[in-house]
Amino acid sequence: MSENIPGTENNSEANKAPEFSRTDAAKAVKRLSVELVVDPKTKKPVEDKDGRVKTREVTKDVTEAEVLDFSVRNGVITVVTTDGQKLTGRVA
């Protein structure tokens, strides 16, 4: 039995959103990660003048298996990963 309830029509232009899969969601976001700077010859971490280990920030791709859930709103995609991180990106 189908009821006609005002405002619940699924065929209006406002309700039409592009279909996204977990693969599309994973491609839309990047994970920011910190890595140690390693000397290629000795394979040991590089230290600065003060004796602290040097680090650098790198962006890494998110895999489909890491996507727990995702949402698309107003051109912004929000992805929650299996390790609990919340990542955002723009829909291309």
Cα(88)–Cα(37) distance, integer angstroms: 27
Per-residue pLDDT band at 15 (split at 50, 70, 90): very low
Q: What is the pLDDT of residues 46-64, one digit of tens each?
A: 999 999 999 999 999 999 9
β partners of residue 72: 77
- The answer, as to whether pTM is greater than 0.75, is no
Element spanning 26, H or E: helix 22-28
- Is the model's pLDDT at 18 over the cut of 90? no
